[in-house]
Amino acid sequence: MRFAVKNWQLSQLFLSDTGVHEVELETKSLKLRCNCVGFKNRSSCKHVRFVRERMDQNGGVYATHVSTKAPAIEANLAMHSPEAFRNLLINYGKIEVV
Ligand SMILES: [Zn+2]
């Protein structure tokens, strides 16, 4: 039996004066969402637009930047689980400021 499971994955962390915001990508539909107040009110925000623009420039793929200091074992684990990927980004991902 198959279930239509939504698979949200953290794509990019942003630092702004309202805190740290997380843009997540739904890996099947390529929908984006953000946890900032602007997105909750308008279903759009500068963070989501930033990621969408980069995806458009890159053939629909968002290239997440992760520090080369990230241990290979963590990077490998991150490819198999959204939770491990989230931890990798939090620990070693590049934080964008928009
Ligand atoms: Zn946002």
With CA atoms as reference, report the closest residue to 86 among 94, 78, 96.
78
User: What's the angle, vertex CA 33, arms to CA 29 and CA 39, rounded to 5?
Assistant: 140
In order along its 98 residues, the chain shows pLDDT tens digits of: 555 567 899 999 999 888 999 999 998 899 999 999 999 999 999 999 999 999 999 999 998 899 999 999 999 999 888 889 999 999 999 999 99
Name the residue range of residue 16's domain.
8-96
Compute CA 43 distance to the chain's CA centroid, rounded to the nearest angstrom: 16
* Number of folded domains that form the chain: 1
Burial of 34 per CB tally in 10 Å (0-12, 13-18, 19+): buried
Residue 6 has what pLDDT?
73
Unique residue bearing structure tokens 């099947």: 28
CA of 72 to the centre of ligand 1 (A): 30
CA of 52 to the centre of ligand 1 (A): 12
CA of 82 to the centre of ligand 1 (A): 20
Q: Does 38 reside within a domain?
A: yes
CA of 73 to the centre of ligand 1 (A): 31
Q: Does 80 reside within a domain?
A: yes
Q: Does 3 reside within a domain?
A: no
Q: Does 15 reside within a domain?
A: yes
CA of 45 to the centre of ligand 1 (A): 5
